[in-house]
Chains A and B, each alone.
Chain A
C-alpha cells in the first residue's frame, strides 16, 4: 500500500464497509428503558398484599356497582310477610311459591325489619361508601394540589399568607364542624332542592352534599401541605428555569412541569385519603347525619342494627365486617402504592 500523505483527503475505505451482524447486535436495545410509571407498577405487582387488596377492592366494586343492576331485589323493595328472615331463610309465602314451582331467589343475608333483602342493601350501602370515598378524595386532590402548588411556587408572602390559612384550618376540629355543617345546611339545601334545576340534590341527599362540602372546605389542607413541600424542592430544578427562560407562563409551569413531577405523591396521598373519607362518612351515617333515609350506607345499616342486636346479630355483622375490610384493603393498597412510587419512604 502506498504511503499515506498525512494531509491528503484520501479516506480509508475500510471504515465505510457495511456493519457486520455481530456489530449490529451490540446496538440492539435488549430491553426498553423503564419509565417512572412502569418501574413503580413493576414494584407494585410484586407486592402480594397490595395486589390481594386491589383484587378485593375490584370485587367489592363489582358487587356494589354492577350486581345491583341485575339483582332480583331492589334496595327499597319491601316484601310483605318476610320481615326479619335469617340468612337463606324463606318466608311462608315464598315457600308456597316454591311449592307451586316458582323460583324464588334466596335472601342470602336475610331481610331487615321492613322485609327488605339485606344483601342488596349491603351492596348498595357499600356503593355509597365507595362513592363518597372516591368523590371526596377527588375534591381533595383538586383543591389541595392546586392550592399547595400555587403557595409553593410563588413563595414569599403569598406562601406565608396561604400557609397561615392552612395552619388555622388544620387546627379546627373537623368532626365537630362536619356535624355542625351537615346539621345546619340540610334545611337550606332541601329548600333549594324544591326549585327547578336543583332536583338532583334530592337524589343525592342533602347530607351527602354537606359531607362533600366539608371535605372541600377542610380536608384538603393535608394534601396542600404535602404538595407545597414537593413543589418547593422541584421549583429549583433546571427544567423549571429552562421553561421560564423559554417564556412559559406560571400556570403552564405549574400544570405541565411541577404537578406532573409530583404525580407519585399525588396518587399515593389520594389513595390513602379514600379510606379516611369512607371512615368519616360511616361515622356520620352512624350518627344519623349521613345519607337520606331509604338509601342505605354501611354506617347507617350498622346503626339500625343495634336495636335488634340480641335477636338479629347478622344485621350488624355484615355491614360492620364489610366496612372494616374496605378500609383495610384501601389502606394496604395505599401503603403498597407508596412503597412502589417512593421506595425511599419505606420504613
Chain B
C-alpha cells in the first residue's frame, strides 16, 4: 500500500513539474511579449520593465528562477493588474470557483446516483427508459449550449431567474444547473450499469435469502458496491467542473478563477496565465491522486501493483 502511495505521489509530482515546464516554454513562444499592446513606450522604459520582471535574463535562468519561486508558492506579479501578486489574485478568486464547483459536484452526485439506481432497479420499465433518454441527451449537450439556452429561456424569456452574478441563492441555480448537467447524466449512466451488475451477483441473492429486508440489502450491500465506479469518476469530475467553469463564469459574469483565466489570456497577462494554469493543473492532479489512493483503500479487491 505504502509503495503504491509513494508511486502515485512521485507520478503526480512529475506531472506537475512537466506541466510547469510546458507552460513556461509555451509562454515564451508567444511573440510580441506582454508589453506590446501598451502605448509606444521608450526603449529605456521597456528595458526597465524587462529588468523588473526578470525578462532580460537568459531563458534557462528565467526557467530556474521560475521553478524555485513556484515551489515557494510565488508566481510573481501580475503584469496587467499592477501591484498585485498572482497568488493573491488566485487566492481571492478561487473560493468563488471552488464554491460553485463544489456545489455542482454535490448536485451531480446527489441527483446522479439515485437516478442511476432507480433506472437499474426498474430495468425495462418506462422510468428506466425515461432516465436513459435524459442521460443520453445529457452527455451530448455542451455546457455552453445549456448556459446560453437556459439563460434565454429562464432569464430572458420567462424572467424567473437572474442571469448574471452570484449574489443570492437564486443566482446559483442556472450556473450550477449548467455545470452539473453533464456529470449528472454521466454518473446516472455509470451508476445504472454498475447497479445492474451488482444486483445480479450471488451475494445479493444470499443477502435476500438469509432474510434481510429489501431496504437493508439494497443500501448495505448493493449501493455500497455499486457506487465504486462513481468514486473513480470523482477525479475527472473535479477537472471537468474546474475547466467547465471557464465557460459558465464567462457567460454568467461570475468573478471566479475561470473568468480570470480567460481574461488573462485575452490580456496576455503572462504570469497570470502561468500561475493559473499551474494552480489548476496541480489541483486537478492532486485531487486525482487522492481519489485513486482513497479508492484503493476502500476497495480491497483491487489488486495493488
Contact = CB atoms under 8 A, between A and B. Distances in A.
Contacts of A188: 29, 31
User: What's the interface size class on B, roughly?
Assistant: 35 or more
Interface string A320-342: 11011101100110000000000
B151 A168 contact: no
Contact of A184 (B12, B27, B143): B27
A275 interface: yes
Interface residues of A, number: 46
Interface stretch (B41-49, B69-77, B203-211, B243-251): B243-251
Nearest to A182: B265
Nearest to B22: A177
Contacts of B261: 179
A104 interface: no
A150 to B, nearest CB: 21
Given A171-B288, A328-B136, A309 B19 contact: no
Given A302-B145, A309-B156, A176 B280 contact: yes
Given A168-B14, A317-B149, A347 B193 contact: yes
Interface in B261-298: 261-262, 265-266, 273, 277, 280-281, 284-285, 288-289
B149 A187 contact: no
Interface stretch (A36-44, A196-204, A263-271, A279-287): A279-287
Interface in A164-193: 164, 167-168, 171-173, 175-177, 179-181, 183-185, 187-188, 191
B106 interface: no
Contact of B243 (A168, A173, A187, A289): A173
Interface string A287-330: 11100000000010011011001100100110011011101100
B56 to A, nearest CB: 20
Contacts of B289: 171
A335 to B, nearest CB: 8
Nearest to A175: B243
A176 B193 CA distance: 31
Given A279-B142, A313-B156, A347-B196, A184 B30 contact: yes
Interface string B204-226: 00000000000000000000000
Contacts, number: 130
A185 B142 contact: no
Interface string B233-254: 0000001001100110011000
Contacts of B26: 180-181, 184-185
A303 B144 contact: yes
A332 B133 CA distance: 11
Contact of A183 (B18, B265, B281, B285): B265
B232 interface: no
B15 A331 contact: no
A176 B142 contact: no
Contact of B19 (A177, A191, A286, A332): A177
Contact of A286 (B18, B144, B192, B285): B144
B152 interface: yes
Contacts of B156: 309-310, 313
> Chain B: interface secondary structure?
helix
B239 A187 contact: no
B140 A299 contact: no
Given A187-B30, A287-B246, A332 B136 contact: yes
Nearest to B285: A171
B59 interface: no
Contacts of B148: 302, 305-306, 309, 316, 320
Which of A191, A286, A325, A331: most chain B CB closer than 10 A? A286
B23 interface: yes
B137 interface: yes
Nearest to B23: A180
Nearest to B137: A328
Which of A180, A282, A305: most chain B CB closer than 10 A? A180
A167 B11 contact: yes
B240 to A, nearest CB: 9
B121 interface: no
Nearest to A167: B11
Contacts of A327: 140-142
B285 to A, nearest CB: 5
A316 to B, nearest CB: 5
Nearest to A316: B148
B58 interface: no
A279 B146 CA distance: 13
B124 interface: no
A327 B185 CA distance: 15
Interface string A75-116: 000000000000000000000000000000000000000000
Contacts of B300: none
B19 to A, nearest CB: 6
Contacts of A180: 22-23, 26-27, 273, 277
B152 A183 contact: no
A181 B26 CA distance: 7
B32 interface: yes
Given A287-B246, A327-B141, 6 more contacts: A171-B15, A173-B19, A173-B285, A282-B144, A309-B148, A309-B151
12 contacts: A172-B285, A175-B243, A180-B22, A180-B23, A180-B26, A187-B29, A279-B142, A283-B142, A286-B142, A287-B250, A320-B144, A347-B196
Interface of B: 11-12, 14-15, 18-19, 22-23, 26-27, 29-32, 136-137, 139-145, 148-149, 151-152, 156-157, 192-193, 196-197, 239, 242-243, 246-247, 250-251, 261-262, 265-266, 273, 277, 280-281, 284-285, 288-289
Ranked 6 nearest A-B pairs via Cβ = A328-B140, A187-B31, A175-B243, A184-B26, A347-B193, A320-B145
